[in-house]
Amino acid sequence: MIGVTVLGATGSIGVSTLDVLSRHPERYRVVALTANSDVARLYEQCLVHRPEYAVMADANAAQRLHEQLRATAPEIQVLAGLEGLEAVAALPQVAYVMAAIVGAAGLLPTLAAVRAGKRVLLANKEALVMAGRIFMDEVRASSAELLPVDSEHNAIFQCLPDDVSSGLDTAGIRRILLTASGGPFRNIPLSELHHVTPNQACAHPNWVMGRKISVDSATMMNKGLEVIEACWLFNASPDRIQVVLHPQSVIHSMVEYADGSILAQLGSPDMRTPIAHALAWPQRIESGVAPLSLFDVARLDFERPDIARFPCLRLAYEAMQAGGTATAILNAANEIAVASFLDGRLPFTAIPAVIERVLADVPVRDAVSLEVILADDALAREAAVRRVDEATSKRA
């Protein structure tokens, strides 16, 4: 049986992963589950899946989980903090690691899995956004398997030839077409965006996601981060990646070839499909996803993204072009801005404004080491907090 660690088990990707794993108990064994601070949900998951290890990033939460499990499942070892996360990502009895921790917090545990030579099912795009070159160098050095789980990157992976490491031109690829739903605000008047609420921003028309990722989808920063991720995954320059609005979310992405062919991957908007694909690749297994009915879909629409409506997409392209630590600064500023919006401290339209100001505030450096990247991440967070405070004081 294949041992699996799920980093970020209580989030939407983690829950979907456990659903797929539970459909194949003869094939997969859950070895470790991790969460940030959601003790109640991780406790329930431990009782169902009986892992060897449970990890809480928050030490106090780990203590509470340990006390609960002591009476019902004392055989489960409870670990805490970054050290615990990295340990279960590199366990010898684990072959596959689902990297589904949201945000910058997922970088180091995911790198630990890579360095241990695991098959890494990458749902944490920030690992590549922050440290793409270092991350991909570690993948090559350790002979780890890196399989994308984001629905778009998984779709691209399925439409590519076996090896594109030598470049798109050598593989006969003209460009990558990265689809996006456009989120909940694709058509509302620009004048109304300033007043949208967190609940409105989190009401995605097609996908069920966590609140942070839902806001990123509404601003299209999520798509910008995916452009950066695709550059690193598929050895592509930003100008070879075209974002295409596709409101039905049925075509998950496409690859255009030099001969004029366009290959697309279609499916229902359910993350269990790319999760099952990455778990079983190169084979296919049942995912629990309902078959897609093209007769019910009936039509497929495509639009160019409106940069005036989605300035975060422009900022992501510019950061990737700038190189160095610019993408880490972009990501850090976005995490602070989105958290401030969700807390009611920042209007929706101020999210890209804060990010742009932080990109101007924090000098970009060569991303020569994790230490430099993490230092600039910290500087960007401090600058973003200052910019949010300024915006809040002006509103008061």
| Contact residues for 371 (Cβ-Cβ < 8 A; gap 6+) | none
In angstroms, rounded to a whole number, what is the distance separating the alpha carbons of residues 21 and 27? Answer: 8
Mutual orientation of helices 221-233 and 326-342 as an angle, nearest 10°?
150
| Per-residue model confidence (pLDDT) at position 208 | 61
Q: What is the DSSP string of 20-72?
A: HHHT-TTTEEEEEEEESS-HHHHHHHHHHH--SEEEESSHHHHHHHHHHHHHH
pLDDT in tens, 291-317: 999 999 999 999 999 988 999 999 999
Give yes or no for residue 31 having a pLDDT over 70. Answer: yes
Q: Which of 24, 33, 26, 43 is nearest to 4 (CA)?
A: 33
DSSP state of 303: B
- 173 backbone dihedrals φ, ψ, rounded to 5°: -105, 130
**List of domains in the chain:** 2-148 (3.40.50.720), 156-297 (no CATH), 323-395 (1.10.1740.10)
Could you read off the pLDDT of 115-166 as tens digits, one per residue?
A: 999 999 999 988 999 999 999 999 999 999 999 999 999 999 999 998 777 7
Q: Are 265 and 253 in contact (CB under 8 A)?
A: yes
Q: State the average pLDDT over residues 29-43.
A: 97
> Can you give the pLDDT at residue 190?
83
pLDDT surpassing 70 at residue 193: yes
Of the candidates 206, 293, 219, the residue with the CA atom closest to the CA atom of residue 248: 206
Q: Is the pLDDT of residue 207 over 70?
A: no
- What's the CA angle centered on 57, arms 51 and 62, to 5 degrees? 65
Which tokens in the block code for residue 8? 């970020």
How would DSSP label each residue in 109-178?
A: HHHHHHHTT-EEEE--THHHHHHHHHHHHHHHHHT-EEEE-SHHHHHHHHHS-S--TT-TTTTTEEEEEE
Mean predicted lDDT score pLDDT of the chain: 94
Residue 209 pLDDT class (50, 70, 90 cuts): low
Residue 34: both structure tokens together: 């991790």
Residues 241, 312, 35, 88, CA torsion sign: positive
Split at pLDDT 50, 70, 90, the class of 94 is: very high
Banded model confidence at residue 81, pLDDT cuts 50, 70, 90: very high
- pLDDT for 27 equals 98
**pLDDT value of position 396:** 57
Quick one: 200 exposed, middle or buried, by C-beta within 10 A (0-12, 13-18, 19+)? Answer: middle
The rounded distance, in Å, linking the Cα atoms of 125 and 100 is 9
Tallying the residues shown for the chain, one arrives at: 396
* Under 8 Å between Cβ of 219 and 352: yes
DSSP state of 289: P
